[in-house]
């Protein structure tokens, strides 16, 4: 037994009491959906965890109507102080039930328990706590005095950080005075439904938050519902485009948090050990299922060979396996579909001439798994340097001068995040100025905080989540009258997905 072999240390599932079947959470109650129910599985071993309802059109109508009623009769009339108190309650309940939520998240999503326990769920609590305090201070949010809520927010979230994305969406929406209909991703609905139980415990007024489950079609119906005032979406750029088209000509305010292909730039004077850790965290955190993942490593040419050697050595110590094991670094890929995409793009990378390398690691027999992979000798035109893979796959490119690093980093239609590794503070500032990305990490990576705005440039979407800026997505200035923005009467066109 080498020092790398650890005895299994599984987190107990005893804390989690899943129901066999979950309904939709509408108007404060769980009800059966009208669509065909589906099973949610653990991607680590394909074990069936529960049966989830599918919301059909009349369910969406019902949820939006409940949200509208709650907005008009309760939530918009409630004082900011009381709205804040509900959010504080929710924050505390999340903290109290954090281990249970972490276990559910790792089971349903496949992410390592150390991440769900130490990153996702603590941030969920922090997010509600942060925005709770804003609810009675909206005059200071930067939109002038007495900004108004938008109304009913339709929120569609992805499967990579299921509960955290829920918190990013619901906390600012409620603090600003909106009510919500949220659709979690098809493969990761569980924690949203447990969260609905938390809302019942918090005694949140019925209809303020409604959770509808289902696949893409359910999300589409929700976003296109005419009674929705605000659309917030996190997910792929392709779906983001579809949403941007479908809301054209409507009064709906939109924020989109979409894909990325972030450059992690390592200069030759960087603290190499820290940079290695940052690069590993940047692309292998959450199996690379991160929109802001540092999927392109740009390393200065003169340190390339040494850096890649040390990176490979480090990768050999990563443990892939049971997401519930406390020692696991790399969990399961979330779905068979996503695994297929990662495989396809990696094969294309090889076919296009890049050199592929993975550490030796045992892949479990059941479930969806992909070994951490790095590609060297990648050209800027290669698909693996351009397309978002959304998996544990790193493309390594080189540069000689800061100007070249900046040009390569910006050579993408995306603009979500970037990393800079150097010991020189003045260079960090100069390079950060030139990078066209919404979040830049200097000598760190993949840091998130409720106080810190997050969101992209260019085709990574628009709007910000987090911080004071995150509130602006759910508020309108009091002075902006409805007549000032003239809309064609119901002229919005039906747009079909391309």
Residues found near another protein in the complex (CB under 8 A): 126, 142, 237, 240-241, 244-245, 248-249, 256, 258, 413, 415, 425, 428, 432, 437-444, 447, 449, 451-455, 457-459, 461-462, 464, 467-469, 477, 480, 483-488, 491-493, 495
Of 77 and 480, which has the nearer Cβ to another protein? 480
Say whether 388 is catalytic. Answer: no
C-beta of 452: minimal distance to another protein in Å?
A: 5
**How far is Cα 366 from Cα 53, in angstroms, rounded to an integer?**
26
**Cβ-contact 415, 437 below 8 angstroms:** yes
**How far is Cα 334 from Cα 328, in angstroms, rounded to an integer?**
15
Catalytic residue among 105, 291, 459, 465: 291
Q: How many CB atoms lie within 10 A of CB 309?
A: 10
Q: Would you call 400 exposed, middle or buried from its count of C-beta atoms within 10 A (0-12, 13-18, 19+)?
A: exposed
Catalytic residue among 11, 186, 257, 459: 257
In the block, tokens 């800027």 appear at 380
Of 17 and 491, which has the nearer Cβ to another protein? 491
243 Cβ contact list (under 8 Å, min separation 6): 223, 231, 233, 254, 256
Of 241 and 343, which has the nearer Cβ to another protein? 241
Nearest one of 157, 124, 123 to 257, comparing CA atoms? 157
Say whether 257 is catalytic. Answer: yes
C-beta of 477: minimal distance to another protein in Å?
A: 7
The CA-based angle 328-9-185, given to 5 degrees, is 50
C-beta of 292: minimal distance to another protein in Å?
A: 11
C-beta of 39: minimal distance to another protein in Å?
A: 34
7 Cβ contact list (under 8 Å, min separation 6): none
Q: How many CB atoms lie within 10 A of CB 116?
A: 34
C-beta of 297: minimal distance to another protein in Å?
A: 18
Of 19 and 140, which has the nearer Cβ to another protein? 140
222 Cβ contact list (under 8 Å, min separation 6): 60, 63, 64, 154, 156, 181, 183, 212, 228
The residue ranges of DSSP E strands in 24-134, in sequence order, are 24-26, 29-31, 38-41, 48-52
C-beta of 410: minimal distance to another protein in Å?
A: 11
Of 122 and 216, which has the nearer Cβ to another protein? 122
> Token digits for 496?
């079909």
Phi, psi of 163 (to 5 degrees): -75, -35
Write the DSSP symbol of residue 138: G
Of 17 and 488, which has the nearer Cβ to another protein? 488
C-beta of 492: minimal distance to another protein in Å?
A: 7
CA distances from 211 to 155, 164, 214, 433 (A): 9, 15, 10, 40
Of 17 and 447, which has the nearer Cβ to another protein? 447
List active site positions.
Answer: 257, 291
């Amino acid at each position: 037994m080498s020092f790398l072999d650890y005895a299994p240390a599984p987190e107990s599932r005893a804390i989690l009491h899943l129901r066999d079947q979950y309904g939709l959470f509408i108007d404060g109650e769980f009800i059966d959906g009208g669509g065909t129910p589906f099973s949610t599985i653990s991607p680590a071993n394909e074990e069936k965890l529960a049966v989830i309802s599918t919301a059909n059109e009349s369910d969406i109508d019902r949820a939006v109507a409940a949200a509208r009623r709650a907005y008009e009769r309760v939530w918009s009339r409630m004082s900011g102080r009381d709205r804040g108190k509900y959010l504080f309650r929710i924050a505390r309940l999340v903290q109290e039930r954090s281990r249970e939520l972490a276990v559910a998240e790792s089971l349903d999503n496949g992410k390592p328990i150390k991440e769900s326990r130490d990153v996702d769920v603590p941030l969920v609590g922090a997010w509600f706590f942060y925005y709770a305090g804003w609810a009675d201070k909206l005059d200071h949010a930067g939109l002038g005095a007495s900004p108004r809520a938008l109304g009913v927010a339709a929120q569609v979230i992805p499967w990579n950080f299921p509960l955290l994305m829920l918190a990013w969406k619901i906390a600012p929406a409620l603090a600003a005075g909106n009510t919500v209909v949220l659709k979690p991703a098809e493969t990761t609905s569980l924690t949203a439904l447990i969260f609905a139980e938390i809302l019942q415990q918090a005694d949140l007024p019925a209809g303020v938050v409604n959770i509808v489950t289902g696949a893409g079609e359910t999300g589409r119906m929700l976003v296109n519902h005419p009674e929705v005032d605000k659309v917030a979406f996190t997910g792929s750029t392709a779906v983001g485009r579809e949403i941007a088209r479908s809301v054209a000509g409507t009064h709906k305010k939109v924020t989109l948090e979409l894909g990325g292909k972030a450059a992690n730039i390592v200069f030759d004077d960087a603290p190499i050990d820290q940079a290695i850790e940052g690069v590993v965290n940047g692309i292998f955190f959450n199996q690379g299922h991160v929109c802001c993942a540092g999927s392109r490593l740009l390393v200065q040419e003169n340190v390339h060979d040494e850096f890649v050697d040390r990176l490979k050595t480090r990768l050999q110590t990563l443990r892939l396996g049971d997401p519930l094991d406390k020692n696991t670094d790399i969990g399961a890929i979330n779905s068979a579909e996503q695994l297929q995409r990662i495989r396809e793009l990696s094969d294309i990378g090889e076919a296009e001439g890049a050199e592929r390398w993975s550490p030796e690691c045992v892949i479990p027999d059941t479930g969806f798994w992909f070994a951490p992979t790095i590609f060297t000798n990648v050209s800027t035109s290669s698909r693996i340097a351009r397309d978002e893979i959304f998996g544990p796959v790193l493309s390594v490119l080189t540069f000689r001068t800061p100007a070249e690093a900046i040009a390569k980093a910006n050579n993408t239609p995306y603009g979500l995040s970037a990393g800079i590794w150097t010991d020189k503070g003045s260079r960090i500032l100069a390079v950060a100025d030139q990078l066209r990305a919404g979040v830049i990490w200097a000598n760190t990576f993949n840091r998130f905080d409720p106080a810190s705005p997050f969101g992209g440039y260019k085709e990574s979407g628009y709007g910000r989540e987090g911080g004071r800026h995150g509130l602006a997505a759910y508020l309108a200035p009091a002075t902006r009258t409805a007549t000032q923005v003239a809309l064609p009467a119901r002229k919005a066109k039906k747009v079909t997905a391309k």
